[in-house]
Structure 1
Amino acid sequence: MTPEQIKRVQDSFAKVRPIAGTAADLFYGRLFEIAPQVRALFPEDMAEQKQKLMAMLGLAVANLAHPGTVVPALQDLGRKHVAYGTQAAHYEPVGAALLWTLEQGLGPDFTPEVREAWTETYALVARVMQQAAAEAA
């Protein structure tokens, strides 16, 4: 990722952070709409899961310029997701739900450049998690 892309992701996430609860609601609502098969992988009470989502996103975004800081956490998360029943095919709808959520939350601030930067960010996160998951399986 370029420094400009990192800045776009970090600046846009700073705008989402104040509405973290709403963003998490939007994300999981959209995910379960476009990939209903994944709902069974999650607990009935999603409160803690929503907090974990926003915390991990915050960690990843804050450390984009320092991947060595966040890669071990993402690898661990990828390995844990194997035990939860996550499959490689699940990563695509998660990415789609994330981009949709950001578009809803940011409105006109979700420019094509911001979309591209977030697409790169999610691709990096998903790749690290999937590689760790494959090694664990």
Structure 2
Amino acid sequence: MTNQQINHVRSTWAMVAALDAETVGGLFYNRLFEIAPEVRHMFRSPVAEQSKKLLSMIGYVIGKLDKLDDIIDEVAKLAQRHVQYGVKAEHYSTVATALLWTLEQGLGEEWTDDVKDAWVLCYTTLAGAMIAAAGETGKQPQQKDSTVWAGLA
């Protein structure tokens, strides 16, 4: 990611993070369950609790975007936990769709093509690392092509 893309992600995330976590998380999870009701069973915590965890995790990763090598082991552990929840490679594109939609709702006019492109790159980079790490566990096949990202750019 370029410095400009990192700045787009960080500045727009600051706007979203300033909103109520339960509201943002509610938008995200409602959208996720609307487009993929089959994943609802993977989320056992109440949406309010899950929302806080999601926003905290995203904020942490965004803070390290210029130092991704520092958190690659943590990303791998997160991926391995996701495998235990039943997450498969194809779920990452569904989550991306819900996340991008949520960001667009929260950012309104600040959601520009450049901001979207930066978020897509950010997400695909991190999700790609998670898919690769999950594939290394042998518990799910590694996504070998870019079809998981179809329609995001």
TM category, shorter: over 0.9
Distance of 1:45 and 1:58 partners within structure 2: 20
- Name the structure, 1 or 2, with higher relative contact order (CA <8 Å, separation 6+): 1
Give the equivalent residue in structure 1 for 2:147.
Answer: none
Question: Does structure 2 conserve the Cα–Cα contact (< 8 Å) formed by 1:31 and 1:93?
Answer: yes
Give the equivalent residue in structure 1 for 2:86.
Answer: 85
Give the letter for the 1:23 counterpart.
V
Distance of 2:122 and 2:29 partners within structure 1: 19
Distance of 1:72 and 1:17 partners within structure 2: 25
Consecutive unaligned residues in structure 1, runs of 5 or more: none
Q: CA deviation at 1:18?
A: 1.2
Give the equivalent residue in structure 2 for 1:68.
Answer: 69
Distance of 1:131 and 1:51 partners within structure 2: 26
What secondary structure is seen at the aligned counterpart in 2 of 1:130? helix
4+ residue stretches of structure 1 with deviation over 2 A? none
Consecutive unaligned residues in structure 2, runs of 5 or more: 140-153
Distance of 1:31 and 1:96 partners within structure 2: 8
Distance of 1:51 and 1:73 partners within structure 2: 18
Question: Does structure 2 conserve the Cα–Cα contact (< 8 Å) formed by 1:59 and 1:70?
Answer: no
Give the letter for the 2:97 counterpart.
A
Distance of 1:69 and 1:36 partners within structure 2: 35
Distance of 1:46 and 1:107 partners within structure 2: 23
Q: CA RMSD in A?
A: 1.0
Which structure has the highest helix share of the two?
A: 1
Give the equivalent residue in structure 1 for 2:9.
Answer: 9
Q: CA deviation at 1:73?
A: 1.5
Give the equivalent residue in structure 2 for 1:114.
Answer: 115
What TM-score do the two structures reach when normalised by structure 2? Answer: 0.86
- Give CA-to-partner distance per residue, 1:61-88, whole Å, 9 cap, x none: 1110010222222111000111111111
What secondary structure is seen at the aligned counterpart in 2 of 1:122? helix
Q: CA deviation at 1:44?
A: 5.4
Which segment is superposed worse, 67-76 or 124-133?
A: 67-76
